[in-house]
Amino acid sequence: MSTSIRTKALTGAAVAFLTLGMAACTDDTPPEPTPTVEPAPVEDPSDNGGAEPTDEPEPTQAAGECSLPAGDQSLPNQAPDVDEWVTVGSLSGVPISETYGPEHREGDLYTCYAHSPTGALFASVYAFAAAGEVPGFADAWVAPGEIQDQMREGEAEPSQTTGLSLAGYRINAASDTELVVDLAVIGMTEEGQGLGSLRVTLDWAGDRWILNPATFESELTPLDDLTGFTPWSANG
């Protein structure tokens, strides 16, 4: 699969729902959150154990400095509070929070999320929705290089997929420099509603979260239900 196709993996999720032919969801009652993956412990950003500082990804070119307080560094083990749910690209249910971000909103281009696991979680949902869809996203969210160049080109022709909604999340690893999370989303198949997940990886770069290239290798995984995920959506 070419890099240009991979960079459309996030916003092409609705197409994947159709081609995978996932079974329709018949149970409208989400299961209790019973995480099956133990997240990595969150490191203290002020303590590097006496080791030499490591190189961080280069900051991106987004305008505006990020100044949200880092806040609580604990892992979100339940659905975080949300001030507002909005639609970005083909995904409905993108969370907005005065505490966790985004700090800056210019149209559908959002930047600056809190330097915490919960801030990164909010950022991951936005990145899922906006990648390849929102002009300026590549410059603001992707480190300079081939992938950024190809994403920038793709922003001129956003996909026309619609009908995705956030259903939940499962954090696989979290630290002060990285978040790896599986996002569960609902889309429409020929048989009805389909449920699937996609892994998003974020890095902390300078003063903001950006997408790790590993995200573009992700494959949409069909799910039977939300077992192992924390339900989190605009529907409560």
Q: Residue 16: pLDDT above 60?
A: no
DSSP run (H or E) holding 193: strand 192-205
CB 122 within 8 A of CB 95: yes
Instruction: Please check whether residue 60 lies inside any domain of the structure.
Output: no
Report the C-alpha gap between 102 and 66 in whole angstroms.
Answer: 9
- Structure confidence at residue 9 (pLDDT): 43
- Structure confidence at residue 222 (pLDDT): 95
CB 3 within 8 A of CB 147: yes
Instruction: Please check whether residue 56 lies inside any domain of the structure.
Output: no
Range of the domain at 224: 3-44+68-231
- Structure confidence at residue 17 (pLDDT): 39
Instruction: Please check whether residue 59 lies inside any domain of the structure.
Output: no
Report the C-alpha gap between 196 and 92 in whole angstroms.
Answer: 15
Average the pLDDT over 22-49 and give the result: 41
- Structure confidence at residue 37 (pLDDT): 40
CB 110 within 8 A of CB 104: yes
Give 184 or 17, the one with higher predicted confidence: 184
CB 186 within 8 A of CB 168: no
Instruction: Please check whether residue 172 lies inside any domain of the structure.
Output: yes
Q: Per-residue pLDDT tens for 42-97?
A: 444 444 455 454 444 444 444 578 999 999 999 999 999 999 999 999 899 999 99
Instruction: Please check whether residue 186 lies inside any domain of the structure.
Output: yes
CB 85 within 8 A of CB 126: no
- Structure confidence at residue 149 (pLDDT): 86
Instruction: Please check whether residue 63 lies inside any domain of the structure.
Output: no
Q: Calculate the average pLDDT of the chain.
A: 78
Number of domains in the chain: 1
Positive or negative, the CA dihedral 54, 204, 169, 155 is: negative
- Structure confidence at residue 214 (pLDDT): 87
- Structure confidence at residue 82 (pLDDT): 98
| Range from 36-45, 55-64, 95-104, 158-167 carrying the lowest mean pLDDT | 36-45
Q: Per-residue pLDDT tens for 202-236?
A: 999 999 999 998 898 888 899 999 999 999 999 87
Instruction: Please check whether residue 57 lies inside any domain of the structure.
Output: no
Global pTM reads: 0.77
Assign 199 a pLDDT band (cuts: 50, 70, 90). very high
Q: Residue 129: pLDDT above 50?
A: yes
Instruction: Please check whether residue 169 lies inside any domain of the structure.
Output: yes
